[in-house]
Structure 1
Amino acid sequence: MNANLQVCVRRFPRDVVGVDDFELREAAMPEPAEGEVLVQSHFLSLDPYMRKRLADAREGRYPLSTGDVMMGRTVGSVIASRDPAFKTGDVVLGWGGWQRYAAEPGQNLQKVEPLEGGSLSAHLGVLGRPGITAWLGIVSVAQLREGDCLVVSSAAGAVGSLAAQMARHLGARVVGIAGGDAKCDAVTRQLGAHACVDYKAPDFAQRLIDATPDGVDVVFENVGAGVLDATLDRMNPNGRIAVCGLMGHYHSGEPYAFRHFARVLDRALKVTGFRIDDNIPLHGRALRDLRAWFDAGVFRPWETVTHGLEHAPDAFVSMLQGRGQGKTLVQLT
């Protein structure tokens, strides 16, 4: 324990992210200051929002510089503590980033309970920020009702897959959108969606019409661009759209011209963007529901796990390119 492997930002990508935008580095083992805790990370979460953070950092809108350790959510064990609220062996959620060890302020850490027969990785998925985000969009923002027809884009992703399962449990007709026949088949067979449409298909718009014969009441949007455009044309009057992400816009600064934006007005649609950190008072309620549903077996574990921190850049690029399914994780120990 005299060296700490890290993955740092080498340069900020202008378009497509590549593995060469990151670099491996060995640094000295961090020493916790007063009020800090030294954590050994077991799992690192890789998420689409990181792509936007890189773009924001390039434009000076986010405090990340070249040479810095790439940011990220982690779950790990306390190996030394200078905060009386934590002791050696505690399992904690933190923001350790892309490195094996991190000295973090105790106030930024959250203790988590061991899960009976479950992996620690669930705290970065269904019982973590992806689960809370899905709950916020489905329950709080869209106010999904039994019998609604829900369309969820990126339905094979970390948040979309949870939103789809949650909506199915709450009594909605669930139509997923994913890339490729294999993913669509998994969304229906494994997650229980009633239908799934391949956005890569040349007749995507017609397939969406066929999958939503009675129109769409609720959308959980993760992609935007042409995927959202096609869905707008299927919306029923007074439909609700919860905008969680816009992956279709993150790779390019080019604007997208929506052909069906007039549906927002002529069908009185409610379009609401939401962010997890703007809804902190609801997190406790969300976690209570998620834990109850998790214990009841509502959610199927869906993870793509890469072993070894040195492979984190490859795993990140793979996720952004749509390979893998469910929550993308790097196992460090």
Structure 2
Amino acid sequence: MNKSEFKTFLACIPKAELHIHLEAVITLSGVKKLYKNKYGKEMSKEEQESLFSYNDLNGFIEVFLKIQEMYSSVDDFNLVFDELEKYLVENGIVYTEVFFAPTSFLKMGFKYEDMVKIFHKKITEIKEKRGITVKLLMDVSRTFGCKNAMNNYSLFKKYPCEDIIGIGLGGAESKGPAKDFAPVYDLAHKDGFKAVAHAGEDVGPESIWDSINYLHAQRIGHGITAIQDEKLMEELTKTKLPIEICISSNTFTKKIVQKAKDHPVREFYDRGMMVNINTDDPVFFKTTLLNEYWICYSELNFTMDEIKELVKNGFTSSFMSEKEKQKAIKAVDEAWKL
């Protein structure tokens, strides 16, 4: 099956995506609109090239924050959700859990309660218009320390929203050890919220262990340095703790993986670990969910039957109810007609 045939087929299969950042679905066209609204002038080609010239994880995070600074008001989130909707439709995604990071916006003077109102309005519109379910996970952010993370969680609790189901820990992994954020996670678990964490992206397997032992994370984002620890891989195989795999993202950072064909997802899958496929930041890494599955097929030798299982893993690893999961998995079987 060639690339075009593969993507055409897979686009018609209902899928879930569990590791994607809200601000990273905005296209270059969207970024240019934000820039013009903010600064009252067109973004130059030099500025565009400079903006997307990062070559490591920390450089990418800096650009991520720069784009957040281009927002003029909470109304700009309308644009972001419109682009999210387009992305979800084009990739055949029927369910997604999206990270949003409020810290930079709060520092800019945006009110959390105003952001949440727009989130709910747009998510409701997407559901009514497209039949797609969007849930959010607040990135409490390791980049700015535990005190800031606790402040974010306080707002999360003060202004509840049915669309926001839990918290995540993103940002510069090397600057914010997972165990430092245990107090925030303890509260989230006590309050009955979902809790996930980026770990093992560019820090060793100890980061994953800490996310398991201190944060009691219900999913691990990236998790690729588990390949360095046999005992950890055995533990993940036994517990079926879901790992959110982001191949293009991991290949870009080159911390562990230099080429897609060397990504450990193949070994993780063969061991029986619960892996699911995601993009992380599709616009920043010039990819899509369909393209990530194509990489699995074309470069990592996943068969079509295995691709089907990976698609099902997306739903199995989600925070959908068991009834919803079974319904979604049945829909995959019904749509899968090779």
TM-score, normalising length: structure 1: 0.31
Which structure: greater strand fraction? 1
* Structure with the greater alpha carbon radius of gyration: 1
TM-score, normalising length: structure 2: 0.30
Which structure: greater helix fraction? 2
